[in-house]
Amino acid sequence: MREALKTGISFGLTSGVITTLGLMVGLHSGTHSKLVVLGGILMIAIADAFSDALGIHVSEESENIHTRRQIWASTVSTFLSKFMFALTFVIPVVLFQLSIAILVSVLWGLGVLAILSYKIAMSQGRKPWRIIAEHLLIALAVIVITHFVGDWISGAFK
């Protein structure tokens, strides 16, 4: 059961960081609208949390090695961790000017991802810097790409 919860939480947090930051950065660079970014965060918190939870559910079922209870533990923990973590990005958007909120959110998300990566590395007896660097590079790639896609969309449809 513990492994099922760990799977759901680690997947939910990682997905929560990458998808929410990608969406926020893309929407910000494309619209510069606080309302649009806030709406995007809420949509990710709902739709993507359900999608990821169902994805984990089907994946765990397809392995045919987990009990029903383990499958549902992974499903629920994925949904809750993704949903709750995505909602944390609402706080800076509400409290700060949008460009500052994006910066705060990126730092928050990358910090959480670095801590999670460190814990994973330590639990596996591996060098933390390699896992942290790998995970942060992927997240940064998503952030940079979505920024430029937002810029491109903004310019293409003026």
The model's pLDDT over 70-123, given as tens digits with 9 standing for 90+, comes to 899 889 999 999 999 999 999 999 999 999 999 999 999 999 999 999 999 999
Average pLDDT over residues 4-25: 89
Q: Is the pLDDT of residue 12 over 90?
A: no
Which of 78, 86, 72 is closest to 18 using CA atoms? 86
pLDDT of residue 128 exceeding 70, the answer is yes
Query: pTM (2 decimals)?
Result: 0.90
Element (H, E) at 59: helix 49-63
| More confident position, 44 or 157 | 44
Check residue 111 and give its pLDDT: 97
Instruction: Residue 142: give the domain boundaries.
Output: 2-156
pLDDT digits (tens, 9 = 90+) for 20-73: 999 999 999 999 999 999 999 999 999 999 999 999 999 989 998 888 998 998
**Per-residue confidence at 1, pLDDT binned at 50, 70, 90?**
low
pLDDT band at 131; cut points 50, 70, 90: very high
Number of domains in the chain: 1
137/3 Cα distance (integer angstroms): 26
**Residue 89: which of 17, 8, 15, 13 has the closest Cα?**
17
